[in-house]
């Protein structure tokens, strides 16, 4: 049975799933209310150094820059509607390859933004059933899940969660914090300009 985390909760993935090498990070959401405008959420991941910054644009993975670290991080495609059950967007992560090849990457931050949120007057208060989950790719078993339950009525970008290395072990943290200003605000936080 998967561990269900609350905001701020953390879990040691290396202890929960010994030998864990590759994970599927599934992100999902449903549209709650809209004025009829299309509602398009986009998942992305920032690969961060120990200082909490991206080394450059190559450390920002999204639908238009789908891989990083020679394929150790892969965005599996853009879902423009969020319709249907299950994961809306998926990012595959090879944890072992990251440890073996990139000792300056210590954290992966998973972010979801609303495309053209300001122009469409949309925010995360219009989104429900948002979640992030970590699945062991070798057996398709869900290890941990975080359901975002707060009402984020002004935020247009959300950090859902983060994978990070501590003492040589991979851990997951449920973040659930939002930003006004969309993707550019998140990029700025991690040292990038778009």
Q: Per residue of the chain (194 residues), give pLDDT as tens.
A: 789 999 999 999 999 999 999 999 999 888 765 566 667 789 999 999 999 999 999 999 998 999 999 999 999 986 655 455 678 899 999 999 998 887 789 999 999 998 888 877 888 888 888 899 999 999 999 999 999 887 777 788 899 999 999 998 999 999 999 888 888 989 999 999 87
Q: Work out the end-to-end distance of the chain between its first and last CA atoms, rounded to an integer number of angstroms.
A: 40
- Predicted TM-score of the model (pTM): 0.91
All domains in the chain, ordered by first residue: 3-189 (2.60.60.30)
Question: At 57, is the secondary structure helix, strand, or coil?
Answer: helix
Q: E strands, the chain, where?
A: 3-5, 10-12, 22-31, 41-48, 60-61, 67-68, 73-75, 89-94, 107-114, 127-136, 141-148, 157-166, 169-179
Q: Please name which of 61, 19, 28, 47 lies closest in space to residue 164, comparing C-alpha atoms.
A: 47
Q: Which residues contact 84 (CB under 8 A, 6 or more apart)?
A: none
């Amino acid at each position: 049975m998967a561990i269900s985390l609350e905001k701020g909760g953390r879990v040691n993935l290396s202890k929960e799933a010994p030998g864990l090498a590759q994970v599927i990070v599934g992100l999902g959401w449903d549209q709650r209310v809209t004025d009829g405008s299309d509602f398009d959420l986009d998942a992305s991941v920032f690969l961060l150094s120990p200082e909490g910054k991206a080394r450059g644009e190559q450390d920002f993975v999204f639908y238009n820059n789908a891989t990083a670290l020679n394929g150790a991080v892969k965005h599996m495609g853009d879902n423009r509607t969020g319709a249907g059950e299950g994961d809306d967007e998926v990012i595959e992560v090879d944890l072992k390859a990251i440890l073996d090849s990139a000792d300056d990457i210590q954290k992966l931050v998973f972010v979801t933004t609303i495309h053209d949120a300001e122009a469409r007057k949309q925010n995360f208060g219009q989104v429900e059933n948002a979640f992030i989950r970590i699945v062991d790719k070798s057996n398709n078993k869900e290890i941990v899940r975080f359901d975002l339950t707060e009402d984020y009525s002004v935020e247009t970008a959300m950090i859902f969660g983060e994978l990070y290395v501590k003492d040589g072990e991979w851990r997951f943290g449920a973040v659930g914090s939002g930003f006004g200003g969309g993707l550019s605000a998140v990029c700025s936080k991690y040292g990038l300009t778009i």
